[in-house]
Amino acid sequence: MNPLLSVTGLTKSYGAVEVLKGIDFDVAAGEKIALIGPSGSGKSTCLRCLNFLEKPSAGAIHLDGERIGVRLGRPMSDRQLAPQRAEMGMVFQLFNLWPHLSVTENVAIAARKVRGLPAKEAQELALDMLAKVHMTHRADASPLELSGGQQQRVAIARALAQKPKLMLFDELTSALDPELVHEVLKVMEELAAEGRTMLIVTHEIAFARDIADRVLFLDGGRIVEQGPARALILSPREPRTQAFLRQIRH
């Protein structure tokens, strides 16, 4: 069967600095992949290249057989990219909720403006998504009144409302106070149980082990090792992976 997402030869340079040095991997529908690696290894860059928030320097990305960001051999503009981006739900480390909109509006607005849903349906959809992340009780609040964990759950609901084929999570918990981490991880576990396709950048190794089907270990802009989550985390083969995991468990 064709993979849902396929990444081949993904390269990204900033000036002379090559941050990604040729990344290849596939994601099957329903698969959960954890992307781990030391700080600065290129995890965020890799994720942001998938929906072209960063323009890759080389390589190809296909979602459901469709080439992302390139049409007839030419790079697409942000305007042309919009429908492709809508197919992927991205959640950011710093939430990036829109402070001038209410919680519900944050979740509903794309449904109206991108997918063209009538206001009432978009509203209902938003409330459904907020229920999934256990945030219905703050539906009318402003994002500025919420704790970090709550903001992050709203951001997840916003991405879910896109009905994306694929979810991209970039270190959702690393900007949170420790006591707020688990409420976000719990929501992610519930989403995983629904059989969604998820690509998760995380520093929570135990979480990666439990939730992911497969783990990719990234270091220095390359995938150094990959394999089934449990096996890779419990008994890594590569010395660099071993060193990283040892250090993170200290």
Residue 35, number of CB atoms within 10 A of its CB: 29
Is 169 a residue that touches another protein (CB under 8 A)?
Answer: no
Supply 156's token pair: 């997840």
Is 94 a residue that touches another protein (CB under 8 A)?
Answer: yes
Between 139 and 244, whose beta carbon lies closer to ligand ATP? Answer: 244
**Shortest distance (Å) from residue 242 CB to ligand ATP:** 19
What span, in angstroms and rounded, lies between the C-alpha atoms of 93 and 176?
9
Of residues 36, 61, 92, 135, which one binds another protein by CB under 8 A? 92
**Shortest distance (Å) from residue 43 CB to Mg ion:** 5
What span, in angstroms and rounded, lies between the C-alpha atoms of 74 and 67?
11
Between 7 and 233, whose beta carbon lies closer to another protein? Answer: 7
Between 78 and 179, whose beta carbon lies closer to another protein? Answer: 78
Of residues 2, 14, 190, 248, which one binds ligand ATP by CB under 6 A? 14
Which of another protein, ligand ATP, Mg ion, none does residue 138 bind to, with CB < 5 to 8 Å depending on kind?
none
Which of another protein, Mg ion, ligand ATP, none does residue 41 bind to, with CB < 5 to 8 Å depending on kind?
ligand ATP
Of 186, 155, 157, 182, the closest CA to residue 170 belongs to 155
Please state whether 103 falls in left (phi above 0), alpha (psi between -120 and 50) or beta: alpha
Contact 208, 227 (CB under 8 A): no
Q: For the segment 209-248, give every residue that binds another protein (CB under 8 A).
A: none
Is 42 a residue that touches ligand ATP (CB under 6 A)?
Answer: yes
Residue 128, number of CB atoms within 10 A of its CB: 14
The binding site for Mg ion (CB under 5 A) comprises 44
Backbone angles phi, psi at 184, to 5 degrees: -75, -45
- Chain-centroid distance of CA 98 in Å reads 18
Between 44 and 197, whose beta carbon lies closer to Mg ion? Answer: 44
Contact 6, 30 (CB under 8 A): no
Backbone angles phi, psi at 147, to 5 degrees: -70, 165
| Binding site residues, ligand ATP, CB under 6 A | 14, 17, 19, 37, 39-45, 171
| Binding site residues, another protein, CB under 8 A | 51, 53, 78-79, 81-83, 85-90, 92, 94, 96-100, 109-110, 113-114, 155, 158-159, 162
